[in-house]
Amino acid sequence: MMEPSFYAEIIQASLNPFVCFELVKDNNNKVIDGIYKDLNPAYECLIGMNKDALLGKKVTEISESINLKTIQFLKASEKAKKNDKTDYYFELKKQFYRIQIFSFEKEYTAISYTESTTELLQKNIAQEDLKQTENQLSLILDSTEEAICGIDLNGRCTFLNLNCMKLLGIKEESEMVGQPIFNHLIKDSLSTEETTVKQDILNKLIGKQPCQSNEIYFIRMDGTLYPVEYFVKPKTSNGTLLGGILTFADMTKRKAEQAEINHLMFHDPLTGSFNHIKFEKLKVACDNEKNLPLSIIMGDVNGLRRINQHYGHYEGDQLLKAITTILRESIPKNGYIARYGEDEFSILLPNTDSSQVSWHIEKIQDAIREYNDQISKDQAAINLALGSETKCTMDYDIQKMINKAQDYMDKQKMLNRDSMRNILLTSIKTTLLVRSKFTEEHAERLVTLSKSVGKKMKLSPCQMDELALLAELHDVGKIGIDDAILNKPGKLTDGEMAEMKKHSFIGYQIIKSIEGLADIALPILHHHERSDGKGYPDGLTRHDIPLLSRIISVVDAYDAMTQDRPYRKAMTQEEAIVEIKKNSGTQFDPEVVRFFLESIEEILKE
């Protein structure tokens, strides 16, 4: 074995520059400098300085032209294992050198310089630059939030970044490279057809045009779907199309945020139902031939402001939520509920006629009664006024339909038991009961019979309400007739009869003066008209007589015939029916009589 001095003699005699350093490290054990420990004459010639001027000096104390590169070599030695060597290339004084770095004893590093050809150096530098460029590109691709992959002209994956691997649910790039990326793209998450995404993208690439879309889904390896937005740019070299670069962005979060924005834009935050803005859009969307008959129900919460003041806004909010739940459970799935205002709701019902609307309103009212029966005394009860209207042809303007429903709703609101108007009506009814032979039982029978006929005739819910009110108030004008005439037990004289006939006009004036009851004022005025024109006060004939008046005329006559009077005994139901039939077409409207007879037949069977 040769002595160490023998190696030193060889190094000193070598024509290749050689230098040895003691490494200088910081507190983190990182190399920051080097101290010259030994060097040969060839190295002195290389840098133009003698050995005595260098030994014991730090690299950073020597000429800046060489120390920067030398420091880089020393730092590189940290990566080298003991006695391993690493090759670098270096240019100095127009000469290219192959640099070999030797690391030993952890504290020392030696550098050897070997002359090299220009071609070899340039090739190495190019390789290093390429490697550095690839590393930088890889770093950029992996740090972006977007998923990026390359494709060839057959749609096979050529590379992909980390986020693309995550999106696909793979751990190794090799799992996807060389595989068709289009197998993982579909246009619709619910589509069962073969995807057309591949052809869309390749057509654009062939035309060397960028392509983008936000309507596709990315299929992960486990079969789950992600909504993505993609952009494809053709990849060319010297004018030759090689493939494309696909960039994907996961739209899951963005779609969820957009969905939340859309929900807040078109929904009432308290009840979750549609808001007024959405209702206006639905109104336009539903206004077409295929949705006829189209109906609407308008609802107004009576006394909401008073509830908020008395019970607090929390209780008022809970009441609105309860009403929304009742409405949802009481209408068909194709109906649309909107909170139209602070205390108003609107319901659009496509393909729903007036009789179906009546049924839905009854269901709502039944649910409200059930709710009110279950609440405690400390809770506010639901009092909801409802109005509806139906359009059967496109000639009927939908806004007019809505306005009509609101008018009916307002009338219902007015008749709320807590309103001053209702107190007035109650007072009028009480006076009528006291001053005439009109009884509560008679009123109840008329209301029941009238509603039965109204249902047969498929009257709207609002007409049904008016009919029930007319049944109670049609004789209200009798409170203006003298008691002697009104309660006379025997037959009236001609003069007394003329006086009695004034009651229809008196009733008309009384009801007309009460705001919101104008629609039953005329039916009260004409409830003694006859189809043959021999009635009073105006001698109107059949279709000129208000429909509600024609109905009350038949119902009132039947009830009068089947009840005892001071001057005669009551007829049997069968006898009264015969009498009604006998006067059909003269005193009574034949159409109303037909529906009345159907109703009576059902009632008698019960």
Q: Are 345 and 339 in contact (CB under 8 A)?
A: yes
CA distances from 322 to 156, 329, 481 (A): 57, 11, 48
Residue (of 211, 190, 215) closest to 199 by Cα position: 211
Q: Residue 67 and residue 56: Cα distance in Å, rounded?
A: 15
Task: Find the mean pLDDT for residues 224-232.
Answer: 78
Residue 76 C-alpha from the chain's centroid: 60
361/138: higher pLDDT: 361
Query: What stretch(es) of the chain map to CATH 3.30.450.20?
Result: 4-124, 144-255
In this prediction, what percent of the chain has a pLDDT beyond 90?
A: 33
DSSP-derived secondary structure for 120-172: HHHHHHHHHHHHHHHHHHHHHHHHSSSEEEEEETTSBEEEE-HHHHHHHT-S-
pLDDT at 213: 62
pLDDT at 60: 87
- Range of lowest pLDDT (214-223, 285-294, 343-352, 574-583): 214-223
CA terminus-to-terminus distance, the chain: 128
84/505: higher pLDDT: 505
Q: Residue 287 and residue 277: Cα distance in Å, rounded?
A: 16
Task: Find the mean pLDDT for residues 195-223.
Answer: 69
pLDDT at 454: 92
- Residue 2 banded pLDDT, cuts 50, 70, 90: very low
pLDDT one-digit tens code per residue, 243-278: 888 887 777 777 777 777 777 888 999 999 999 999
Q: Residue 597 and residue 190: Cα distance in Å, rounded?
A: 56
- Residue 211 banded pLDDT, cuts 50, 70, 90: low
Residue (of 34, 35, 40) closest to 7 by Cα position: 40
Residue (of 474, 481, 453) closest to 596 by Cα position: 453
pLDDT one-digit tens code per residue, 485-527: 888 877 889 898 999 999 999 989 988 877 767 788 999 999 9
> What's the burial of 433, exposed, middle or buried (CB within 10 Å: 0-12/13-18/19+)?
middle
pLDDT one-digit tens code per residue, 311-329: 788 888 999 999 999 999 9
pLDDT one-digit tens code per residue, 409-442: 887 776 655 454 566 667 777 776 665 555 677 7
Whether domain 270-404 has CATH 3.30.70.270: the reply is: yes
pLDDT at 605: 74
* Adjacent-strand bridge partners of 446: none
* Adjacent-strand bridge partners of 373: none
Q: Are 297 and 389 in contact (CB under 8 A)?
A: no
> 558-564: which pairs have CB atoms within 8 A and are 24 or more residues apart?
558/449, 558/596, 558/600, 559/442, 559/445, 559/446, 559/449, 563/442
Asked whether residue 193 carries a pLDDT value surpassing 50, the answer given is no
- Structural fold of domain 4-124: Beta-Lactamase (3.30.450)
The structure's pTM equals 0.50
CATH ID of 420-605, from 2.60.120.920, 1.10.150.20, 1.10.3210.10, 3.40.50.1370: 1.10.3210.10
Q: Domain 144-255 carries which CATH code?
A: 3.30.450.20
Residue (of 591, 536, 584, 538) closest to 557 by Cα position: 584
Query: What stretch(es) of the chain map to CATH 1.10.3210.10?
Result: 420-605
Query: What stretch(es) of the chain map to CATH 3.30.70.270?
Result: 270-404
Asked whether residue 80 carries a pLDDT value surpassing 90, the answer given is no
CA distances from 328 to 271, 325, 331, 335, 364 (A): 11, 5, 6, 9, 9
Asked whether residue 191 carries a pLDDT value surpassing 50, the answer given is no
